[in-house]
A = this chain, B = another copy of it.
Amino acid sequence: MKLTIYLADDHAMFANALALTIEGFKDVSKVKTASNGKELIDLVEKKKPDVVITDFEMPVMDGMEVIKRISKKYPEVKIILLTMYNNVQLVREAMDHGVHAFLTKSFDPSELETAIISVVEKDFYHNDLMYKALKYSASVNIKTSTSLTDREKEVLHLICDELTMKEIGDKLFVSDKTIQNHRQALLRKLGAKNTAGLVKKAIEEGIYKIS
């Protein structure tokens, strides 16, 4: 059983290097790379692969959107999500949308091979992170997970850009009181204590990118 695998990562070097690693796995026959979610979807539309491996933090279309679309349209295609950070809420949301495996970028190559074989044979690959996410879902209300509105994301972005509530209000042509409310909602939804927490979450969730 030789597998076809497509992968997406905006860091060309990483995508390319990862492809080389995967090509070395004995059960793999073909690997194609894309630099964002949109390109990956385009590849899948042309010809279905056995497995797709996608980064979470990407421009144009992020990993979560990729999971949603592929699991809906091509439920037989296995999906492995890669991220920089091991964010439990994110894992939980990805699982709800049908991801088959979840790895942080600090994993080693053998774990990736194990994960690929596991998702193909058993339909899933459970590591510590996914186990934590399952436990988490039992204790915390799922509704509190990251479901920021477009406006909230916009405000969060401007907070990360070091603007004050007043400045953001001026920029968006609304009262600073309104922005205060959005900020409160962000603190609550993201489980942050202050601006430091908001910035960290924004980066973790891929809403804000540094430099």
Contacts of A200 in B (CB 8 A): 160, 199, 210
Q: Does A25 contact B (CB under 8 A)?
A: no
Q: A106-B11, A196-B199 are in contact. Are A87 and B211 (CB under 8 A)?
A: yes
Report whether B194 and A106 are in contact in the complex, using a CB–CB cutoff of 8 Å.
no
In the complex, A27 has a CB within 8 A of chain B: no
Find out whether the CB atom of B85 lies under 8 angstroms from the CB atom of A12: no
A13 with B20: CB separation less than 8 A: no
A109 → chain B, closest Cβ, in Å? 5
Interface hits, A146-171 → B, CB 8 Å: 159-162, 164
Copies in the complex: 2
Known pairs A20-B21, A24-B20; A196 contacts B14 (CB<8 A): no
Contacts of A85 in B (CB 8 A): 210-211
Instruction: Output the nearest chain B residue to A211 by Cβ-Cβ distance.
Output: B85
Q: Are A112 and B13 within 8 A (Cβ)?
A: yes
At the interface, yes or no: A137 with Cβ under 8 Å from chain B? no
A1-36 residues with Cβ-Cβ distance < 8 A to B are 10-14, 16-18, 20-21, 24
Chain B residues near A14: list those with CB within 8 A: 14, 17, 105
In the assembled complex, 18 residue pairs joining A and B whose CB atoms fall closer than 8 Å, in A order, are A12-B107, A12-B109, A13-B106, A13-B108, A13-B109, A14-B105, A16-B109, A17-B109, A84-B210, A160-B200, A161-B196, A162-B194, A194-B195, A196-B199, A199-B199, A200-B210, A203-B203, A204-B211
